[in-house]
Chains A and B, each alone.
Chain A
């Protein structure tokens, strides 16, 4: 497993990729907050909001299929949550959509609204992460006031996740190769404990080696990056357009659509 698996699109180049990480982050937060605070039974307005992240994804050259596959992967919990709607809220209501109208319950409306909001906020998050390199995002977060210790911790974590996931996969493959058929719970449990323990020891040891290597290169607790974070005119334009979009929909279109 490589970094490319998750954020292969973050290293592309496009107008969206060139925007400042801070601006993108703040806009994503604002967008998410506004979408979440939409009324819980209105579905049609969500389609209008979908234009925003969709446009960013398309401009950034990120295939929508990639985004939707990701959303599907993390959706089970939210789907269960949404399906409690029809179960618990059976107030009958009539939905009129253009020439069609049909009877349904408020629960179903809320179910669709929850699902729609989930897809929207996830699209926005994916649009942020897959158009911003994680290092830039971290630098931006640091500028926004996240403590340096946490930023460095996140940087290290990101650097070594895929390495350790790789070695975990090696261990898992070794177990699969050696245990034919079913292992009883006690043994399986013992194996797992030993696997985790050895993985832990291995991690601590390699942390020691990494530390010596970094000390030898003069690491003293600071990332030194070529800092390219500057807010330029495209950033202002992007911020203005997206704020107008989200707030405009909220103030003017939402009351009309209901």
Chain B
């Protein structure tokens, strides 16, 4: 579910980066009043726990050869509370990007939102609503299950929305959406099962960890819960409705923008709307090779020169560095 840079346009990337940075900034400011320095090692090591837990894989039923592993966001949200979990999971996503190069630098905002903020908050609030403060084990398990499925699912739904808003989707939006929802429903089910199992284990072995005893848990009022859920609903709905109007543009784009064929678009420079409309229509259905062959010789040679030139430059850089290093080691000897 890590988004790559290529799935986003720059405006969407900066927008999501701003939202993620703002969100994290707010959370950090809120936490600064609550978290004292003795909770910092715990947060750090639980982030590392998420990494380690993702290595512990297990065989999935009915699908030989595939194995699943825990994502862990909802488990942390249940145990640490949503604010701390959001910071911890976001830091995991950031380290995955910076150190393991998993997910792009520009896509970091999207990834923090999809995999850090959304699962922690949505998961925690759903868990809270279902358990309703009582600690019967059935309610806990159902709550954890629903929280996992919903948290992952909403994060997964955001991926095609962000990609479609960027206008980079080649796949039809609905296909992508259905694939993501379907796949992540299964992932969420497995995640829910494993979260429930781990919670059950912890309740047997160390009940103090599950029951509010862990330091740094921030209590939230019912109003805050409802308000946050409302905000997420509005954001998702707004994204979907934007898409409804934005999709034709995204599709149209693939017809109009032909940077590799500079002659393609500006055939008629008449500003009249009907003429441009007709022109658009014509250019849409006109056979392409006619247009591209005519003046294509020049761009072909320039791109040839560009590629060869770049290759030569890189070779020169490499050779110079090689010679310099050789001389350096020679001097050192």
Contact = CB atoms under 8 A, between A and B. Distances in A.
A44 B2 CA distance: 27
A199 B101 contact: no
Interface range on chain B (Cβ under 8 Å from partner): 35 or more
A164 B317 contact: no
B32 interface: yes
Interface stretch (B88-96, B118-126, B217-225): B88-96
B332 to A, nearest CB: 13
A96 B296 contact: yes
Nearest to B325: A61
A244 interface: no
A7 B260 CA distance: 39
| Interface class of chain A by DSSP | helix
Interface string A89-110: 1011111111101010011011
B314 A51 contact: yes
Contacts of A42: 259-260
Interface of B: 2, 4-10, 13-14, 24-25, 28-29, 31-32, 35-38, 40-49, 51-53, 55-61, 70, 87-88, 90-92, 94-95, 97-102, 104-106, 168, 170-172, 193-194, 197-198, 200-202, 205-206, 209, 214, 254, 257-262, 288-289, 292-293, 296-297, 299-304, 306-311, 313-314, 317-318, 321, 325
Contact of A147 (B29, B56, B302): B29
A158 B296 contact: no
B40 A7 contact: no
Contacts, number: 321
A237 interface: no
A11 to B, nearest CB: 14
A184 to B, nearest CB: 9
Contacts of A98: 300-301, 304, 308
Contacts of A7: 99
A153 B198 contact: no
Interface centre among B31, B47, B102, B309 (most CB of A within 10 A): B47
B4 A109 contact: no
Interface range on chain A (Cβ under 8 Å from partner): 35 or more
Contact of A192 (B4, B194, B311): B194
Contact of A211 (B2, B41, B193): B41
Nearest to B104: A121
A206 interface: yes
B10 A153 contact: no
A256 interface: yes
